[in-house]
Each structure stands twice: as C-alpha cells, then as structure tokens.
Structure 1
Amino acid sequence: MIRHKAVGVLGVLALLTLAGCSGGDDRAYSVPDELCGVPAKPELTKDLLPGGDKLKVVKSQASGAVPRPYCDVVVDGDTELSIQGNWQPAGTTAEQAAEKSHSFNLRPADGGRFALWDDEAFTVIDCKNTTYKAERFSIEARLVHADGDMSKKLQRFLAPFSEAYRKSLPCES
C-alpha cells in the first residue's frame, strides 16, 4: 500500500515538473516592433496574439477617394489582429467612429478616448487633412479569435500605438 502511494506521489511530482517546464511562451515567431508601418510596443502586441510558428503583417489600403489604410497580423495563416484607420470629420468621437464601422454597444473608456468591446477597440486622434476633408482619424484594433474579454489589453496596446500612428499620417498644422 505504501509502495503504491509512493509511486503515485512520484508520478504526480513528475507531471508537475513537466507542466512547469512547458508553461512558457509557445511562440516560435518574433513579435514585431512595427505594425502597419507604425512603431508598436512588442510587449503590448504580444498580449494580443496567440502562440504559433509564423507571423506575417499584411499592409494594404482600401480603394476610394479617401484612403483607408489597414493591416492584418497573421499567425500560422490565420488573421488574428486587424487594424484599420479612417479619416473622420471634426468632433467625431471614438463611439461614433465605432458606430460608423457598424460596431455598436461599445463601452466608453478613459473619458471617451476609447470605445471598447471584448474583441475590439476604437480611438480617435486629432489630425487635420483638408485633402480628405477630415479633422480626425480613427483607429480600430480588432481581434479575430479573442479569448474572452480582451478590451483592457486592446486599450493598453492602442494608447501608445495611436500616438505613434499619428506621426505617420499627413496631418496639417
């Protein structure tokens, strides 16, 4: 009887040791320090992405009179994070930008600077551009395969990313 308990205890200890060793980062890819041509903090981007072998950032722009830049972060062939920008008229709020993108019932955060849902976040930055008849620019970050409520992580990512994004835009003084 004692021998069976000892074998059982040793087995459990061996499993715990193995579980402790395998609990690390399961990413074979490097998290980029730039997304969509904009500097991004890898430690914040990492929180949004799953493990995997290969990561690719696909940058594009929707056609039309007013450009709508976007990019997708693809892990192992699946789009995981999608970032889209849109020129907006003066006074547009993050919630209004979300509604224009057909996203409803988002929660305002940080005094209205952000509009959040479990798998997406919007923010709007000041950026006047007379060519596009815009005073503001909205940025949407959306997780395609979100695991629960990721809104706070999206907000933490989007705060510095939106400031860096502004520097890449053709804003007028």
Structure 2
Amino acid sequence: MKHAKARTVAALALVLLASGCSQPKEEKRAFEVPDSLCGTPVPAELLSPVLPASGTKIEEERKPGKGYFSCRVVVDGTTVLTADWNWTEKGRTPRSVAYDNPYLDIAEHEGGGGKYVYSSTGGVSRVTCDPVVAHRKGKYELFARVFVSDGEKSAPAMEKLITTYAEALSASSECEQK
C-alpha cells in the first residue's frame, strides 16, 4: 500500500509538472516601439511601459486641426493610447482640462506646482510656450493630454510620459514665435 501511494503521488507530480510546462508562451512585441509620440520626440523607453506587451503592428492615426491636434496609437487594430494638444482660453488649470472628458479619470495626482495632473490612465499638462505665439496674443494656453485605452498602467510611467511630451511640445513649431 505504501508503494501504491508513492506511485500515485509521483504520477500526480509528473502530471502537474508536465501541465506547467505546456502553458502557452506569452507573446512578445513584434513591433518596434517608436521614439516619438505622434510626431513629437519622446524616448521609446517612456512609451514602452504604456504600450501593450504583445502585438504585431503599431500605427498612428493623426487628426490635425486649427488650434488642436489629436492622434491615436493603434496596435493590431485597437486604439491603445491617445495623445492630443489644444489651445485653451487662458486661466484654465490642468485639472479642469482633465475634467473636460468625464469618462477619464486622469487627475488623481498633481505635480510640477500645479503644472500637470496624472493618474494610472493618463495625464494633462500645461505646455510652456515662451514667448506666447503672436497669433494667440496671450489669450490662450497650450495643453497636452495623453491617456491609455487598454486599462491602467503605472502612474509614475504616465507622469514621465505627460511631462516629457509637454516639454517636447514646448520646443515644437506650435510654440515658436510666428
């Protein structure tokens, strides 16, 4: 009887070991993480944590307009990240801009002395344009926003992404004196 129990335990251990080895391997990214976010320079190491861990194809769908820009980052046909910026009447706060979309909760934390807000799903930052673009006549401010569509990410990763994106926008043609 002792040997029968030992054989049963050994057989069970082999079955469990074999089933553990036959788990499907986690897919890896087949796409290269870009070093820009919708045409604005952002290091790939800041984008990587907010993009899916797997997928085969990454694309950007850009929608420029007068005084605004919107872009969706799409992986395998699914929107995973949105980045946009727009000129807003002076006097708004990043928190009030974040609440323009009631379906997003991207104002959980505040940083930079009130310059930006962020959460594990996105962030909003005021973009410093010095001097203010002449055609805006000091009546408007530029705000940048990023948010993920495929669940929560790391709040510190989102903070780094929104601040880097806003800083890069401050050096863009949208902020240059015209």
TM bin, normalised by shorter chain, reads 0.7 to 0.9
Q: Which residue matches 2:9? A: 5
CA distance in 1, matches of 2:40, 2:20: 42
The 5 Å alignment of 1:21-100 reads: 22-23=25-26, 26-50=28-52, 51-62=54-65, 66-99=66-99
Residue of structure 1 in register with 2:150 after alignment:
145
1:47 aligns to what SS in structure 2?
A: helix
The gaps in structure 1 that reach 5 residues or longer are none
Whether 1:125 and 2:130 are equivalent positions in the alignment is no
Equivalent pairs, count: 166
C-alpha separation in 2, matches of 1:32 and 1:149: 18
C-alpha distance 38-149 of structure 1, shift in aligned 2 (>3 A): closer
Which has the higher Rg, Structure 1 or Structure 2? 2
Question: Which range is displaced more, 31-40 or 153-162?
Answer: 153-162
Cα offsets for 1:93-146 (capped at 9, x unmatched):
2113223x3347723421323223442311112111121345531111011221
Aligned partner of 2:108 in structure 1 is 107
- Aligned-residue identity in percent: 25
Q: Distance in 2 between matches of 1:163 and 1:112?
A: 15
- State the distance in 2 between where 1:144 and 1:93 align: 23
Consecutive unaligned residues of structure 2, counting only runs of 5 or more, are none
| TM-score normalised to structure 1 length | 0.79
Q: Which moved more, 1:35-44 or 1:86-95?
A: 86-95
**Aligned partners of 2:128 and 2:90: how far apart in 1?**
8
TM-score by length of 2: 0.77
Q: Partners in 1 of 2:89 and 2:175 — Cα distance?
A: 13
Cα displacement string for residues 46-86 of structure 1 (whole angstroms, at most 9, x for unaligned residues): 21122211110122213xxx421111100111111010101
